[in-house]
């Protein structure tokens, strides 16, 4: 349990950085998108849809999603379905929405599976079918997609598609809520509020807890639900005061089914959880500080037990007061600050924060600094004490405090300006993954007024911040930086790590790069089978380099059984889309008759396509072919043309052959009388 540090300067720098980094990323996106990379097309579409880095333009967003979708890219098919469903950038077309959602869902997109389930459940663009809807929700839920789990829970609660099953509904709502999905939290709260869980009685406190969590996650309809519960509590309280007996119409029915529900819920797993809880309680009562602290956490989060902040505070207090546990002291202080399970009391909060901070707890030190910086201690703002505790926390490795201290040192207002020391704290914080510090470093290194300006380092930290925030394109770019030592030290293992992260998100460039890492054994043990796996992923989604690489692996039998017909297939796919290396390789296959019948005319055609794009080997080959009698198409002017092209690239052999061809051409010219 920690408190955030609201340092304004960090937020300002972050907003400024967004413009810097996004401008760089958009340029890269446009280049890759226009080259046909579907992952870049999708991200560019998203940028136009949200107005991020470019002026918002739904029609352009639609165009880029469509291009990616037409290449079979699931991450383009799903948003294209959304555009058709909602009529964004195009006319509303429910049937087309169904078509594209289905395409993406069949490729395993959990988001598309959920959207498709909704259309089947509501009959929008397709005939209503609850069973099909449930099957798509199930597919999404099986992948751990919180929204799909929530919708599946609703199907079980309502009995749509199959029989009603409240326990299953509870299971999927818990899963969805546990993943931080606000609406899933609200549905779980409603289930507890309705009295359909376990005991058959309403569990109002638990319902209120989940409604509050939902609101905190930004699902604001839960606020109305919470208000209604509180209003009912007040009404019940008033009625009780007047001596009225209040019963719900269904109370007797719920009591009748209680024993059956409880019996159904007693599973080996449940018994294991109960024994674990009993063990924690026993150890806590015997004085185990770790058990006391753990019990406080269990009661705070509602794990294994019904959420009870008063009991959480009780156990934190025992661990903090009787045992001197610094973690419990900090947690107890935060409860006093926020009034969770205990009456707000800033004096007691300061007492426990100070105890924990003086005992070396870096989180408490940072929290205490924040309280002093914000003037919440009860004695007004105290910058000197704030700086003192920021320094203590920073020295103990707290990355938030390190970033905040760096800001103070760089501003030179509350502290004497020391930019070198500020840079040191920013680096320490950023290396620990602090997003604000990473963004701040990116801006600092891009500052035109600073003598230490270094755009490679600026790009490195900007991409790292985005990468650690889950941006696949940035993850791929960061991996390349680690390969080349651009803005950082060369590190093949980190490069592999980020390529893998981006590849798992569906970035096809990263998938191909990951395949190369496995092929070369860079940053990871050499593994041709895994190389083929990732190469196929990228190739099937239209990455031309991956298609060519896959063709080569089939020709060598690396990680896959040798199959020249597949070599021809993948070479041809890549060559037709303009990959010059694939065009050259396909020409060689036609020359040698590997996986295909010999065909010199097709070979020459593919050599010429590759040569026209500047492929040196193809230019040399064409020069030799047109100079030779063997192919029966001898043409010294064409031979000279292509050898000249190769010679211009510095090829010595072509330069020598060019001299020979020119001499031969002179000898063949007719003499004038």
Higher per-residue confidence, 300 vs 105: 105
Angle between helices 8-34 and 399-411 (to 10 degrees): 100
Q: What's the sign of the alpha-carbon dihedral 305, 311, 317, 323? A: negative
Higher per-residue confidence, 200 vs 5: 200
Express each pLDDT in 420-471 by its tens digit.
898 999 999 999 988 888 888 888 888 777 788 888 888 888 888 888 877 8
pLDDT of residue 275: 64
Using a pLDDT cut of 90, give the percent of the chain over it. Answer: 39
Q: How confident is the model at residue 242 (pLDDT cuts 50, 70, 90)?
A: very low
pLDDT of residue 191: 85
Higher per-residue confidence, 276 vs 129: 129
Express each pLDDT in 187-237 by its tens digit.
888 888 887 665 444 577 788 888 888 877 777 677 778 777 777 666 544
Residue pair 304/324 in contact by the 8 Å Cβ criterion: no
Three-state DSSP class for residue 418: coil
Using a pLDDT cut of 70, give the percent of the chain over it. Answer: 84
Q: How confident is the model at residue 249 (pLDDT cuts 50, 70, 90)?
A: very low
User: Cβ of 510: how many Cβ atoms within 10 Å?
Assistant: 29
User: Cβ of 660: how many Cβ atoms within 10 Å?
Assistant: 12
pLDDT of residue 221: 76
Confidence check: pLDDT of 503 > 50:
yes
- Please state the rounded mean pLDDT for residues 591-611: 93
Express each pLDDT in 41-86 by its tens digit.
888 898 888 777 788 899 999 999 999 999 888 889 999 999 998 8
Residue pair 495/463 in contact by the 8 Å Cβ criterion: no
Confidence check: pLDDT of 90 > 60:
yes
Q: How confident is the model at residue 16 (pLDDT cuts 50, 70, 90)?
A: very low
Higher per-residue confidence, 32 vs 19: 32
Express each pLDDT in 123-159 by its tens digit.
989 999 999 999 999 999 998 888 999 999 999 988 8
Among 341, 316, 79, 336, smallest CA distance to 208 is for 341
Confidence check: pLDDT of 13 > 60:
no
Cα–Cα distances (Å) from 672 to 292, 365, 637, 663, 669, in that order, read 110, 99, 21, 18, 9
Express each pLDDT in 307-336 by its tens digit.
777 777 676 676 666 667 788 788 878 878
- Please state the rounded mean pLDDT for residues 5-9: 30
pLDDT of residue 106: 93
Cα–Cα distances (Å) from 155 to 119, 121, 207, 497, 614, in that order, read 14, 9, 20, 39, 60
- Please state the rounded mean pLDDT for residues 89-116: 93
Q: What is the DSSP letter of 160?
A: -
Residue pair 36/544 in contact by the 8 Å Cβ criterion: yes
Higher per-residue confidence, 589 vs 276: 589
User: Cβ of 616: how many Cβ atoms within 10 Å?
Assistant: 17
Express each pLDDT in 100-113 by its tens digit.
999 999 998 999 99
Higher per-residue confidence, 581 vs 633: 581
- Please state the rounded mean pLDDT for residues 413-419: 79
Average pLDDT taken over every residue of the chain: 81
Structure tokens at 457: 């380092």
For residue 529, count CB atoms less than 10 angstroms from its CB and return exposed for 0-12, middle for 13-18, buried for 19 or more: exposed
pLDDT of residue 442: 84
> How far is residue 588's CA from residue 183's CA, in Å, rounded to a whole number?
59
Confidence check: pLDDT of 6 > 50:
no
List the end-to-end C-alpha distance of the chain, in Å, as a whole number.
Answer: 102
Place of tokens 């970033």: 403
Cα–Cα distances (Å) from 388 to 6, 165, 176, 348, 470, in that order, read 17, 57, 42, 21, 35
Cα–Cα distances (Å) from 609 to 234, 526, 551, 613, 615, in that order, read 81, 34, 19, 7, 9
Confidence check: pLDDT of 272 > 60:
no
Higher per-residue confidence, 370 vs 632: 370
pLDDT of residue 95: 94
Confidence check: pLDDT of 551 > 50:
yes
Structure tokens at 42: 């999708």
Higher per-residue confidence, 318 vs 342: 342
Confidence check: pLDDT of 574 > 70:
yes
Confidence check: pLDDT of 668 > 70:
no
């Amino acid at each position: 349990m920690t408190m955030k540090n609201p340092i304004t300067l960090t937020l300002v720098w972050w907003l400024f950085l967004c413009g810097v980094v996004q401008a760089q990323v958009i340029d890269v996106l446009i280049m890759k998108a226009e080259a046909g990379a579907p992952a870049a097309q999708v991200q560019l579409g998203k940028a136009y849809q949200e107005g991020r880095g470019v002026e918002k333009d739904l029609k352009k967003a639609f165009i880029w999603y469509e291009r990616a979708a037409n290449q079979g890219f699931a991450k383009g098919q799903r948003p294209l379905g959304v555009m058709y469903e909602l009529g964004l950038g195009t006319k509303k077309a429910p049937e087309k929405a169904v078509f594209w959602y289905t395409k993406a869902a069949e490729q395993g997109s959990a988001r598309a599976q959920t959207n498709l389930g909704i259309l089947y459940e509501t009959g929008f663009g397709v005939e209503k079918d609850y069973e099909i809807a449930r099957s798509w929700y199930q597919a999404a839920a099986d992948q751990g997609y919180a929204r799909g789990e929530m919708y599946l829970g609703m199907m079980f609660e309502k009995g749509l598609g199959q029989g009603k099953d409240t326990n299953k509904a509870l299971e999927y709502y818990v899963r969805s809520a546990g993943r931080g999905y606000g609406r899933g939290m609200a549905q779980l709260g409603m289930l507890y509020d309705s009295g359909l869980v376990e005991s058959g009685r309403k569990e109002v406190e638990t319902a209120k807890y989940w409604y509050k969590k939902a609101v905190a996650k930004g699902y604001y309809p839960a606020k109305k639900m919470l208000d209604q519960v509180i209003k009912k509590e007040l009404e019940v309280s008033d009625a009780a005061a007047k001596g009225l007996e209040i019963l719900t119409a269904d109370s007797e029915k719920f009591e009748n089914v209680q024993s059956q529900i409880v019996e159904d819920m007693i599973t080996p797993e449940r018994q294991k959880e109960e024994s674990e809880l009993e063990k924690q309680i026993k150890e806590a009562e015997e004085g185990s500080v770790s058990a006391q602290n753990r019990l406080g956490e269990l009661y705070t989060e509602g794990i294994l037990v019904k959420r009870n902040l008063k009991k959480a505070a009780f156990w934190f207090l025992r661990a903090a007061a009787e045992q001197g546990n610094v973690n419990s002291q900090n947690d107890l202080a935060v409860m006093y600050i926020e009034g969770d399970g205990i009456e707000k009391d800033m004096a007691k909060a300061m007492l426990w924060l100070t105890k924990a901070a003086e005992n070396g707890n870096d989180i408490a030190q940072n929290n205490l600094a924040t309280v002093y910086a914000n003037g919440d201690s009860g004695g007004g703002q105290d910058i000197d004490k704030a700086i003192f505790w920021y320094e203590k926390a920073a020295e103990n490795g707290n990355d938030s405090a390190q970033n905040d201290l760096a800001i103070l040192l760089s501003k030179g207002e509350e502290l004497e300006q020391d930019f070198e020391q500020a840079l040191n704290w920013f680096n320490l914080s950023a290396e620990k993954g602090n997003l604000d510090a990473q963004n701040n470093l990116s801006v600092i290194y891009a500052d035109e007024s600073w003598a230490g300006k270094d755009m490679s380092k600026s790009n490195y930290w900007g991409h790292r911040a985005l990468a650690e925030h889950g941006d696949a394109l940035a993850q791929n770019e960061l991996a390349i930086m680690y390969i080349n030592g651009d803005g950082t030290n060369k590190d093949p293992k980190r490069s592999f790590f980020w390529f893998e992260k981006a590849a798992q998100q569906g970035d096809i460039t990263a998938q191909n790069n990951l395949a190369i890492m496995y092929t070369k054994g860079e940053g990871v043990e050499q593994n041709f089978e895994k190389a083929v796996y990732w190469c196929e992923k990228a190739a099937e989604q239209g990455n031309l380099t991956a298609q060519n690489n896959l063709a080569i692996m089939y020709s060598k039998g690396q990680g896959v059984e040798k199959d020249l017909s597949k070599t021809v297939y993948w070479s041809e796919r890549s060559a037709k889309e303009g990959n010059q290396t694939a065009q050259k390789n396909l020409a060689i296959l036609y020359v040698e008759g590997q996986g295909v019948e010999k065909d010199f005319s097709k070979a020459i055609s593919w050599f010429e396509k590759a040569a026209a794009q500047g492929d040196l080997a193809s230019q040399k080959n064409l020069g030799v072919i047109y100079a030779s009698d063997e192919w029966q198409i001898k043409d010294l002017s064409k031979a000279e043309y292509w050898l000249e092209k190769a010679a211009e690239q510095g090829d010595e052999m072509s330069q020598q052959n060019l001299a020979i061809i020119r001499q031969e051409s002179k000898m063949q010219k007719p003499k004038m009388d």
